[in-house]
Structure 1
Amino acid sequence: MSKTRTPGRSPSQRSSHSQSQPVCAPVVDPTVAIAGACQGGLVTAVGSDATVRVRVGLRGEVQARRAASCLLVPAVGDTVACLRTGPSELWVLAVLQRDAAQPAVLRCDGALHLEAARLQLDADQLELRGRRTHLVADEVEVAARHFRLCAGTIKFVGSVLSSVMDRVTHFSRHYLRTTQGTDRVQAMHIDHEAQQLMQLKAEHVMVNGGKLVKTRGAQIHFG
């Protein structure tokens, strides 16, 4: 019984056939981000240790850390730019979009130093809070329509104090003043009133009246 053989192909034909076959590219999972690639995400949760939960592409929510260059603290609902530096290492580089009603918070871990030739802050309301505040300057000038200072203890130390006021009102429970030199008061009228006792004490006391010196009391004692 004879067998029918299919004519084979020569080596040259097999080589040309293999070269004509298309080469299939490897299948890449689109949900796997390439290290070093920047991508956008949506913040879904914010932690207290500079970590945030971000929804990135088709991978769902992943944990990321806020980069040192991202001074604006991310908030829930923000669109952020993320950079993956490793299989499980994702960094938030910047906040791309935020709701206008959401307040903005700039935060820097550690000390922050601002240096410029001129620094200007413009705001309808400015608040400064700190446990200790130091202000050092050659000249300080404050101009305001209303100025109010509230403190438990106030201390002024200087060489010259000069004040110009239309009206001064002072109230205190106890008032003590000590002057080593001359204490002089000049006014059109001077009125001193004490409810119980008034005492003038000195080595020499002089009372000069240009036209009239009047002393009146239920009892007057001299000597």
Structure 2
Amino acid sequence: MTSTRNTTRNTTRTTAGDTIATARHATQGVLDPLMQRPSHAARADSGTRTATVIASDGDAWFEVDFDDGQGSLRCRRVASCLLLPAPGDTVLITSTRQGDSFVIAVVVQADPRQATLAVDGDLTLVSRSGGIRAHSAGPMALESDTSIAMQSPEWRTQARRAHCEIGEMDYQGARIRFSVLVSRFVGRTCEVVLDRLNLLTRSSFRLTEEMEQVRAGQIDIQAEQTLRLHSKNTLLTSKGLVKVDAEQIHMG
């Protein structure tokens, strides 16, 4: 009886061991293809490399040389890469399954003193809840091949010195006011057309080298102290009446 029990136990152990070994072999056969398949992280790392820009064809196409020594290729700049790569810059290159390569970012600039942001088409900068400020330590230039338009409820400009060169200018407004210490106008011709002109000064001096003409419906000149008219030849003519009234009249 004892021998029969031992034989039964050994047979049971052998059968269980064979079952476990068979299960392990079947599991390894199913998992082997999955274990050999590359992960997504490894695939992403293999598709992103650094390169050096050799030359550029416009703002979209660039020729780069890979830093790992695997040759060079021609690639495009993605829309999100606003910083325009320049020859000598170190850029980040990514490749797709279709074999297309793109410049996705500029890692290191060859000349950090110069940078260009370039886009194809219209560019709009929007701040929905705050302001936009542009500051430059050096000169700042605003250029356009067609026109520049500014629109705002209020416009303020402040500078120590200003230079303005305009070929032709038209101004339209409801009111304009100048508050200056010294003003000077130099030109060939000055034409002023007004309904009414008011001029208030403490002292006025006017010099005309040639002829000065005044045409008016009525002229009223009043001096509190002295009125003097002097010339080499003086003519006073009237079609109707000439009247001279004073306490004393000296002629001759």
TM-score band w.r.t. shorter chain: 0.7 to 0.9
Distance (whole Å) between structure 2 residues aligned to residue 49 and residue 71 of structure 1: 10
Between Structure 1 and Structure 2, whose CA radius of gyration is higher? 2
Q: Which runs of 5+ in 2 are unaligned?
A: 1-24, 26-31, 37-42, 238-252
**Partner residue in 1 for 2:121:** 110
**Alignment TM-score, normalising by the size of structure 2:** 0.72
How is 1:9-20 mapped onto 2 (pairs within 5 angstroms)? none
Distance (whole Å) between structure 2 residues aligned to residue 102 and residue 142 of structure 1: 28
Letter in 1 for 2:115: A
Q: Name whichever structure is richer in helix by fraction.
A: 2
- After superposition, what is the alpha-carbon deviation per residue over 1:185-220, rounded to whole angstroms, capped at 9, x for unaligned? 111111121111111211111111112111111111
Letter in 2 for 1:219: N
Q: Which runs of 5+ in 1 are unaligned?
A: 1-18, 27-32
Pairing partner for 1:119 from 132, 140, 154: 132
More displaced stretch, 53-62 vs 114-123: 53-62
Q: After TM superposition, where is structure 1 displaced by more than 4 Å over at least 4 residues in a row? A: 33-36
**Partner residue in 2 for 1:41:** 51
1:193 aligns with 2:207: yes
**Partner residue in 2 for 1:156:** 171
- The answer as to whether partners of 1:35 and 1:85 remain within 8 angstroms in 2 is no
Distance (whole Å) between structure 2 residues aligned to residue 72 and residue 133 of structure 1: 24
Letter in 2 for 1:164: S
Distance (whole Å) between structure 2 residues aligned to residue 39 and residue 81 of structure 1: 6
Root-mean-square deviation over aligned CA pairs: 2.3
- Count of residues paired in the alignment: 194
More displaced stretch, 53-62 vs 138-147: 53-62
More displaced stretch, 106-115 vs 151-160: 151-160
- The answer as to whether partners of 1:80 and 1:96 remain within 8 angstroms in 2 is yes
Report 1 or 2 for greater relative contact order, CA contacts < 8 Å, sequence distance ≥ 6.
1
Distance (whole Å) between structure 1 residues aligned to residue 230 and residue 69 of structure 2: 100
Distance (whole Å) between structure 1 residues aligned to residue 98 and residue 207 of structure 2: 85
**Partner residue in 2 for 1:166:** 181
Distance (whole Å) between structure 1 residues aligned to residue 64 and residue 98 of structure 2: 15
More displaced stretch, 38-47 vs 128-137: 38-47
- After superposition, what is the alpha-carbon deviation per residue over 1:141-179, rounded to whole angstroms, capped at 9, x for unaligned? 111111111110122211111010100011010000010
**Alignment TM-score, normalising by the size of structure 1:** 0.81
Letter in 2 for 1:59: Q
1:67 aligns with 2:82: no
